[in-house]
Amino acid sequence: MSKMAPPEEVMKVDYSTPAEPWMDVKPEFKLGNYSYPGKPDVLKYLGLPNPREWDPTQEDWKLPPDWREIVTDGFRELLKKYRSLKVFMDVCVRCGACADKCHFYIGSGDPKNMPVLRAELLRSIYRGEFSVAAKILGKLSGSRKLEEDVIKEWFMYFYQCTQCRRCSLYCPYGIDTAEITFLARDLMNRIGVNINWILEPVANCNRTGNHLGIQPHAFKDMMDFLVDDIETITGRRVEPSFHRKGAEILFITPSGDIFAEPGIYTFMGYLLLFDYLDLDVTWSTYASEGGNFGSFTNDKWMKKLNAKMYHEAKRLGVKYIIGGECGHMWRVLNQFMDTMNGPADFLEVPKSPITGTVFNNAKSTKMIHLVEFTADLIKNGKLKLDKSRNAGITATWHDSCNTSRGMGFFDEPRYVLENVVEKFVDMPAQTIREQTFCCGGGAGLNNGEFTEMRLRGGLPRGNALRYVQEKFGVNTMSCICAIDRATLPGLADYWAPGVQVTGLHELVGNALVFEGEEERTMNLRQEDLPGVEGSEEDE
């Protein structure tokens, strides 16, 4: 990454538009604004076309000789398969309501990051290749021919979109850029134009069950390590099981939770909660990835990776599935899973064994979110919680894009949070709930080489966070998405230094009071609990 200017400089975004029409402006690939291409062996493993070494900064992208045909045929195919695409190509009136809603536009000022223009990158080809009237009128109608520069522009801007859907909320026709980006990426995949940070996780998820390529024995090792940590912190030995046939519940969470801070603390929170409830739950190394990297690629890979969840649930003979804190996992689960891989008629409608609550809102998919499960426990008084264990925390809540605009989780997580921390404040109204701002790392863009652009895209979220930090002393941002937990710490370090990022169940794990437990002196991060450290420090 090139040296990043300080926040007060980066905030001075130039929103003026270039003198020349957008079709005449070529994308400029610089370190920090694009992601590295897919590696040949990964493409070969996935059976994707045109595996080769190539570099986006070079003139020659080594496209297949018939690339133009592949793209136009593919476009035609998608227009026949997706009404959404067809309608979205036809009905935009370019009113511009979406223009200043994208975090990448707000942070970069690049007009091609205005959702309307991002879609026009595709729409101009749609008109140029498929509309007779537009063909006759040519450039005047906003249509153009498919040239290599167009592909380069697509690569730049459809990999500068996190599919957060914020623009879609404001569009009078509900035009969904996530859908457009998704299908544009599908088209690019057909000619071997893709990024490695998506494809390698897809390959890993397929083979090893998680996006990091952790093999089963290593996965278990990591879990054992966290179990040891829990013992150090609480004195309790939790005993999670793997692949246990006949268990009531299969639990699946994004694998980011087991691999890196701060996700691991959330993971420990899950383990503690299950132990507290003596829940009949089992884990799987085979289906150990909730996050669906296939959904950043095409519908085939999305379906194939998602199918593992039901496949494993069936093999183990569980009654239903609970899912952990993850964003895209829930977009796919909520809106695609049952369609692609249902009906889940071998499972039962989820019923909490602790409270008896039947989750009718998941009566077809038979999969519920842990936050619903936990909120129900708290509401029914089944958890003894001690907020003072999180006493040093003034928390705010980050509504992860996919659990907000892709699903509609707002009150459940806030309810849980308010029950485990003493101080909670929301960020300003136009930056939360359905209007929430993206962390900048969604849809496969949380890679190292893209950091600069991601931090620029993090301006709206970072600025809202700094506002509550300065005004209310917020020092913790909690969320229910693994990409958030990976992206937000860096974003906070840059835009609002001093704010830490937690998952929700990390805070639940901290607050849980076990019967007859030994007194805790540390939180899950093995930091001294407030009041405990005082005795030494005061001296």
Find the binding residues for other proteins in span 60-79 (CB under 8 A): 79
For tokens 């071997």, name the residue.
192
DSSP tag of 358: B
The residue range among 62-70, 83-91, 149-157, 383-391 that interacts with other proteins, by the rule CB under 8 A, is 83-91
The values of phi and psi at residue 6, to 5°, are -65, 160
Can you tell me which of 144, 152, 165, 485 binds other proteins, judged by CB under 8 A?
165
**Among 84, 94, 120, CA closest to 172:** 94
CA distances from 247 to 45, 251, 281, 317, 342 (A): 34, 10, 6, 7, 21
The window from 55-63, 184-192, 327-335, 503-511 that contacts other proteins (CB under 8 A) reads 327-335
For the chain, the farthest-separated pair of C-alpha atoms sits apart, in whole angstroms, at: 84
Among 81, 145, 237, 384, binds other proteins (CB under 8 A): 81
Confirm or reject binding of residue 472 to other proteins (CB under 8 A).
Answer: no
| Whole-angstrom distance, CA of residue 373 vs CA of residue 230 | 22
Q: Return the amino acid letter for 102.
A: C
Count the residues in the chain. Answer: 539
382 binds other proteins (CB under 8 A): no
Which residues, numbered 124-143, are part of the site for other proteins (CB under 8 A)? 133, 137, 140-142
Instruction: Compute how many residues bind other proteins; rule: CB under 8 A.
Output: 120
What's the closest the beta carbon of residue 153 comes to other proteins, in angstroms?
15
Q: How far is the CB of 263 from other proteins (least distance, A)?
A: 22
Work out the angle at residue 286's Cα, subtended by the Cα atoms of residues 285 and 290, and round it to the nearest 5 degrees: 85
Are the C-beta atoms of 85 and 180 separated by less than 8 Å? yes
CB 474 within 8 A of CB 398: no
379 binds other proteins (CB under 8 A): yes
* Residue 32 burial class via C-beta count within 10 angstroms: exposed 0-12, middle 13-18, buried 19 and up: middle
Of 10-29, binders to other proteins (CB under 8 A) are 11-13, 15-18, 21-22
**379 vs 387, beta carbon nearer other proteins:** 379
Task: Collapse the DSSP code of 396 into the 3-class scheme (helix H, G, I; strand E, B; otherwise coil) and give the result.
Answer: strand
Assess whether the previous peptide bond of 115 is cis (omega < 30° from 0). Answer: no
Q: Which is nearer to other proteins, 57 or 339 (CB)?
A: 339
Name the minimum Å distance from CB 508 to other proteins: 17
Task: Output the CA–CA distances (angstroms, integers) from residue 17 to 22, 275, 402, in the order listed.
Answer: 9, 57, 31
Tokens representing residue 167 in the block: 């623009």
Binding status of residue 45 toward other proteins by CB under 8 A: no
Is residue 41 near other proteins by the rule CB under 8 A? no
Interaction between residue 440 and other proteins (CB under 8 A): no
- Choose the stretch contacting other proteins; rule: CB under 8 A; options: 9-17, 48-56, 229-237, 255-263: 9-17
Interacting span for other proteins (CB under 8 A) from 37-45, 328-336, 392-400, 530-538: 328-336
Q: Binding string, 181-220, against other proteins, x = CB under 8 A? A: -------------------------xxxx-----xxx--x
Site for other proteins in 290-309 (CB under 8 A): 299-300, 303-305, 307-308
CA triple 86-91-93, angle to 5 deg: 145
- Using CB under 8 A as the binding rule, whether residue 315 contacts other proteins is answered as yes
Give yes or no for residue 335 binding other proteins (CB under 8 A). Answer: yes
